[in-house]
């Protein structure tokens, strides 16, 4: 048994081997079946993988504060390369750019800010949606043919995935408890991935599947490493909604809450759709 057999499936998906180091570092990874989406890998695991490329750099300064990922084209199965560069390092923060390629094709571009965080005045002003405990809610069924959904235990509080009898809805809001399957301790990677787990809001509004795909996601990390570490492998509460649909795109905002009511992260997407 190798080390790799002991790794959680998420850690396997975000595993990267350094290829070259320098002003721009290059790392190599490989797609894994457990996070496969319809075409290409799940956007959340790609985001986590790019974040890992940054946090593996020996000169990384601080913890992630933001990550923007632009999905330029769907990765094929197999190996990919990631180039990562610290564009500027300041006293309290660091600005990164990241590019993911397969062969000579650019598949994903990204940028991240890491920062040294200090104690300041603190307040969680937003409020989590009300929700029964995850233990009182049944797990959602897996999506046939969409592997990555099986890598999560999703328990819907509201706005469950539509079925044949759902019909159109007035609201795009879904709220669900979500945990890695199998469970895995929380860190920036798992939160980044979970911030993309809510299914496309257009499905809910229209009560049906339709072509939809994230073109860009921006994740803001509101919790620090110590706070994420204290969560263990517990469920987090993901809630999300869209503000406006039209002319081939809509926005989607997701919030990731801890069970004790702390907002851990937000994610803001623009999603392509067709209907």
Closest distance between its own copies and the C-beta of residue 128, in Å? 11
Residue 192 sits at the vertex; the CA angle it makes with 33 and 70, to the nearest 5 degrees, is 80
Q: Per CB under 8 A, does 60 bind its own copies? A: no
Q: How far is the CB of 209 from its own copies (least distance, A)?
A: 14
Residue from 24, 92, 141, 232 touching its own copies (CB under 8 A): that is 92
Q: CA 9 to CA 237: how far, in whole Å? A: 21
CB 199 within 8 A of CB 42: no
The residue within the footprint of its own copies, chosen from 11, 158, 224, 234 (CB under 8 A), is 224
> Mapping DSSP to helix (H, G, I), strand (E, B) and coil, where does residue 142 land?
coil
Residue 74 or residue 142: which is nearer to its own copies going by CB? 74
182 and 8 in contact (C-beta within 8 Å)?
yes
Instruction: Select the span of 41-49, 134-142, 177-185, 248-256 touching its own copies (CB under 8 A).
Output: 248-256
Distance CA 169, CA 269 (A): 21
State which of residues 55, 215, 230, 259 lies at the interface with its own copies (CB under 8 A): 215
| Piece of the chain touching its own copies by CB under 8 A; list 10-18, 26-34, 175-183, 255-263 | 255-263
CB 250 within 8 A of CB 201: yes
Of 45 and 94, nearer to its own copies (C-beta) is 94
Residue 188 or 250: the one with the smaller Cβ distance to its own copies is 250
Determine which residue in the list 2, 120, 130, 163 makes contact with its own copies, applying CB under 8 A.
120
Residues 6+ apart with CB under 8 A from 103: none
Sequence-ordered list of residues with C-beta below 8 angstroms from that of 238, at least 6 positions apart, any chain? 174, 175, 176, 177, 178, 194, 195, 197, 198, 254, 255, 256, 257
Cβ nearer to its own copies, comparing 149 with 240: 240
Q: Quick one: 147 or 216, whose CB is closer to its own copies?
A: 216
176-195 positions binding its own copies, by CB under 8 A: none
Residue with tokens 């897996």: 142
Residue 199's Cβ-side half-sphere holds a number of Cα atoms within 13 Å equal to 29
Between residues 151 and 172, which has the closer beta carbon with respect to its own copies?
172
Closest CA to 198 of 144, 223, 161, 228: 161
Residues in touch with its own copies (CB under 8 A): 65-66, 68, 70, 72-73, 87-88, 90, 92-93, 95, 97, 99, 105-107, 109-111, 113, 115-126, 171-172, 205-206, 215-216, 218, 220, 222, 224, 241-251, 253, 255, 262-263, 266, 268, 270, 272-275
């Amino acid at each position: 048994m190798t080390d790799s057999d002991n790794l959680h499936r998420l850690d396997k998906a975000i595993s990267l081997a350094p290829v070259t180091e320098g002003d721009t570092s290059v790392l190599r990874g490989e797609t894994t079946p457990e996070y496969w989406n319809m075409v290409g890998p799940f956007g959340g695991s790609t985001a986590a993988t790019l974040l890992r490329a940054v946090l593996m750099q020996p000169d990384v300064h601080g913890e992630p504060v933001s990550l923007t990922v632009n999905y330029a084209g769907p990765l094929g199965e197999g190996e990919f390369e990631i180039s990562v560069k610290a564009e500027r390092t300041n006293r309290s923060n660091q600005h990164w750019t990241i590019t993911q390629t397969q062969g000579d094709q650019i598949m994903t571009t990204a940028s991240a800010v890491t920062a040294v965080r200090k104690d300041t005045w603190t307040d969680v002003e937003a409020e989590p949606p009300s929700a029964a405990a995850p233990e009182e809610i049944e797990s959602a069924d897996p999506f046939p043919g969409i592997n990555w959904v099986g890598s999560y235990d999703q328990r819907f509080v509201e706005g469950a995935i539509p079925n044949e009898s759902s019909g159109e809805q007035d609201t795009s809001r879904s709220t669900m408890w979500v945990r890695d399957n199998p469970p895995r301790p929380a860190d920036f990677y798992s939160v980044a991935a979970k911030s993309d787990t809510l299914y496309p809001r257009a499905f809910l509004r229209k009560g049906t599947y339709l072509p939809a795909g994230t073109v860009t996601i921006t994740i803001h990390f509101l919790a620090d490493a110590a706070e994420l570490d204290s969560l263990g492998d517990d469920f987090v509460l993901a809630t999300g909604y869209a503000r406006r649909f039209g002319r081939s795109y809509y926005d989607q905002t997701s919030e990731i809450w801890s069970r004790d009511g702390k907002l851990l992260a937000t994610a803001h997407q623009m999603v392509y759709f067709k209907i």
